[in-house]
Each structure stands twice: as structure tokens, then as C-alpha cells.
């Protein structure tokens, strides 16, 4: 290569770097600096859709009639008692264009991009997504903030996504959506989740706090965790639909969840279902009340540590590669003081060459389960 050609190549590369740097600087100014200089907009008893470019304060009855997407530097503050009503079949401002998401109707075949047989497709041309950045929505016991479908009759599939990247959601009543996605700097507390499709709370590679909530009904799972390390404490979980779990956990090696002081009121369904093992750390499951005949499903190579729990139900071992070695499980309170009976009757699907070790049995009921509660 001649020197002149080499210099021309370097010249165009530098031009490209300058253009990309300018675009990045422009994006930073629009996304983060612009919301700080623009005045806060009041959204009171009105319709809402489109892109949020400045801070907003919501109150009264907010009717969402199209997709909402907030710039990263914006904050939405929501007053106590606010009702957020989401239209079901009227996406006035579609902001999401993945081709597979526009399919509509009922899936009668094989899984389609996460939509299972018997579930409704995303129908993104009609269904709404609400994607907010920073949210401060702090209701009260007397004036909770409500997020729900405006349709009647309603269903768990009435709108697709409710997403919050950071902030606090306290004293909410949430229902009728497919998924709720939350970021690391999010605290969800003192709230009630009802009539949800896929997951009341979905946590993907983030570390939020979920505290003192009531999970009533979901078609799949109440909480879905993948590669994340959330703190989940003082919640109560009721029965999801058949095939669902209270907490479905896929650690993806790096996950380190802290699950403590929760009440699981389930009958013959998984309270905690772990789908992969071989984690780096594993996380802690302690001081929970696994009531009734609830199940705990874990792979043989899971490093999740179970201790100081009340366990009335059973532990189902799932196979994950070559199940050899041993799993230390405990100490916990089993409502029995006979280790042999516990190992025989409480652990299912254990391979013959795999050893489950119970280090000790708690003879007194630990102070497990929910320590607070509104409902």
C-alpha cells in the first residue's frame, strides 16, 4: 500500500471517529441535559402517548392511548391516587418495530419468540408499551397508584410492557400487562400484582429491591430472574396458574439473589424454580415460609444456599449435566426431626450416586416468613 493511500485511509477513519463523537455528544445533550433545563410538564386528567423529553408530573386520571418512551435523563413523578388507564386496542404512537412482535391472534402452534402455545401474540401494532426512565410514584394505603387496562372486560394481555429503569414504586396496584421490566436502581414495595400474563416483575441482569408486596395471580411466573442479583424480601406469593412459579430463577452463572422472609402459599407448584446451576456464588434463600405443599425445584449443581426456612413441601432435584458429588441443604425446619424420613420423603428425583447432606435439623420454628404486611 502506498503512503498516500494509507494517509487517505487514516483520514477517513478520523472523520468517522469525529462524526460518531459528535453524534454521541448530541445524544447526550438531548437525552440528559435537555430535560434538566426544560420546565416540568403537568399531566393531569389527560391523554398521554409519544416520547417524553422533559420531566413530567402525573396526577388524576392519565389515559395512555399509545406507546410511551422516555429519554434517559427524564423523571416522571406520579401523585398519590393517580389512575393510569391503558388502552387495549389503540396504539396511536407505535414506537417499537420488531417484525415478530406484530403477529396477532392466538398461538396454536410451536413457541414463537417466547410466546407459548395457547398464549396471545404481542400484536404490537395495537398493544401499548410504556417505557419510563426514572419514576417516583409513591402512593399511600388510602390513595394507591393504579396501573390497569381501560378495556372491559380486561385480560392479562391488554398491554405489553411496563418498564422502569430507576426510582421508587410504593403503594401501587398493577394489573393486565404481559411484562414489567425494572432496572437496578428500582425499589418496588407495598404493592399488589393481579391478573398478569408472563411475569409480574421481570429482572434481567439487574439488582433491584422487591419488598413487602402481594403477588396474587399470574399466568406464568410472579417473578422471573435471569442473570440478576435482586433483593426479594417480605413478600407474599399466592398460587399462579398451572405450570407457573412464584419465582423462576436462571442465575446464568453470575446471579446472586437474596430471597428472605417471604411467605409462599402455593399448592403443588414451585415456590422457587431454579433452571441452571454452576453459579459463581449462588445467593441466599433464608427465613422463608414454604407453606402447604409448595415445591422447591433446583438442579443438582446449584449453589443456592437454603437455611433457616420453614419447609412443609418437597424439594425436587432436576438434572444439570453429570450429577455427582453432594449438595448441602440446611439447616432448615422440616416439621420433623428424623433425617432419614426427611431425605426419603422430602427430596424427589435424586440420583443414586448423588448425596444430599442435611448438616443439622432446626428443632424450633425460626422467625421466618413475612415481617411486615399491609394485606
Condensed to tens digits (0 to 9), the pLDDT of residues 15-73 reads 767 777 777 766 666 667 778 888 999 999 999 999 999 999 999 999 999 999 999 99
CA angle 369, 173, 54 (to 5 degrees): 120
CA distance 44 to 29: 28
Averaged pLDDT of the chain: 90
H helix or E strand, kind and range, residue 21: helix 3-28
Share of the chain above pLDDT 70, in %: 92
Q: Are 276 and 304 in contact (CB under 8 A)?
A: no
Tell me: cis bond preceding 331? Omega within 30 of 0 counts.
yes
Closest listed residue to residue 291, CA positions, set 373, 356, 370: 370
CA distance 197 to 200: 8
Those residues of the chain that have pLDDT short of 70 are 1-13, 16, 25-31, 320-322, 373-375
pLDDT of residue 106: 93
State residue 164 phi and psi, 5-degree precision.
-135, 125
CA distance 40 to 131: 18
State residue 3 phi and psi, 5-degree precision.
-60, -40
**Residue 221: Cβ-neighbour burial (10 angstroms; 0-12, 13-18, 19+):** buried
188: β partners: 169, 210
The residue ranges of every structural domain in the chain are 42-197, 248-375
Distance from CA of residue 241 to its chain's centroid? 17
Grid coordinates representing 110 are 410451536
Residue with cell 433545563: 37
Grid coordinates representing 56 are 413530567
**Residue 217: Cβ-neighbour burial (10 angstroms; 0-12, 13-18, 19+):** middle
- Overall pTM > 0.85: yes
Closest listed residue to residue 175, CA positions, set 155, 195, 160, 159: 195
pLDDT of residue 351: 74
Distance from CA of residue 240 to its chain's centroid? 15
CA distance 270 to 291: 11
Q: Is 156 helix (H, G, I), strand (E, B) or coil?
A: coil
Strand (E) positions, 244-374? 247-250, 258-260, 263-264, 267-274, 284-286, 289-290, 293-299, 305-307, 310-311, 314-318, 325-328, 347-348, 354-357
pLDDT of residue 370: 73
Amino acid at each position: 500500500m502506498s503512503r498516500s493511500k494509507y494517509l487517505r485511509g487514516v483520514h477517513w477513519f478520523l472523520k468517522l471517529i469525529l462524526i460518531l463523537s459528535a453524534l454521541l455528544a448530541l445524544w447526550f445533550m438531548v437525552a440528559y441535559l435537555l430535560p434538566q433545563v426544560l420546565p416540568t410538564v403537568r399531566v393531569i386528567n389527560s391523554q398521554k402517548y409519544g416520547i417524553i423529553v422533559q420531566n413530567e408530573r402525573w396526577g388524576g386520571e392519565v389515559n395512555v392511548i399509545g406507546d410511551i418512551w422516555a429519554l434517559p435523563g427524564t423523571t416522571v413523578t406520579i401523585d398519590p391516587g393517580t389512575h393510569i388507564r391503558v388502552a387495549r386496542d389503540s396504539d396511536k404512537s407505535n414506537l417499537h418495530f420488531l417484525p415478530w412482535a406484530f403477529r396477532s391472534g392466538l398461538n396454536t402452534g410451536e413457541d414463537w419468540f417466547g410466546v407459548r402455545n395457547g398464549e396471545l401474540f404481542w400484536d404490537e401494532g395495537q398493544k401499548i408499551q410504556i417505557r419510563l426512565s426514572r419514576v417516583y410514584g409513591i402512593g399511600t394505603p388510602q390513595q394507591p397508584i393504579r396501573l390497569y387496562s381501560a378495556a372491559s372486560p380486561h385480560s392479562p394481555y391488554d398491554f405489553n410492557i411496563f418498564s422502569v429503569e430507576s426510582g421508587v414504586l410504593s403503594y401501587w396496584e398493577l394489573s393486565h400487562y404481559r411484562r414489567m421490566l425494572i432496572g437496578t436502581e428500582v425499589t418496588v414495595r407495598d404493592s399488589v400484582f393481579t391478573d398478569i400474563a408472563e411475569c409480574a416483575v421481570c429482572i434481567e441482569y439487574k439488582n433491584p429491591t422487591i419488598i413487602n408486596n402481594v403477588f396474587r395471580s399470574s399466568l406464568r411466573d410472579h417473578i422471573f430472574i435471569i442473570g440478576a442479583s435482586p433483593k426479594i424480601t417480605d413478600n407474599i406469593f399466592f398460587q399462579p396458574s398451572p405450570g407457573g412459579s412464584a419465582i423462576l430463577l436462571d442465575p446464568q452463572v453470575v446471579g446472586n439473589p437474596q430471597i428472605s422472609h417471604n411467605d409462599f402459599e402455593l399448592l403443588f407448584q414451585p415456590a422457587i424454580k431454579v433452571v441452571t446451576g454452576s453459579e459463581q456464588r449462588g445467593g441466599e434463600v433464608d427465613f422463608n415460609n414454604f407453606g402447604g405443599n409448595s415445591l422447591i425445584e433446583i438442579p443438582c449443581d446449584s449453589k443456592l444456599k437454603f437455611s433457616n426456612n420453614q419447609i412443609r413441601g418437597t424439594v425436587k432435584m432436576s438434572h444439570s449435566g453429570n450429577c455427582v458429588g453432594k449438595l448441602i441443604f440446611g439447616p432448615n425446619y422440616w416439621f420433623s426431626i428424623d433425617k432419614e424420613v426427611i431425605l426419603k420423603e422430602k427430596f424427589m428425583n435424586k440420583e443414586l450416586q448423588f448425596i444430599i447432606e442435611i448438616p443439622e435439623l432446626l428443632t424450633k420454628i425460626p422467625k421466618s416468613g413475612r415481617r411486615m404486611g399491609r394485606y
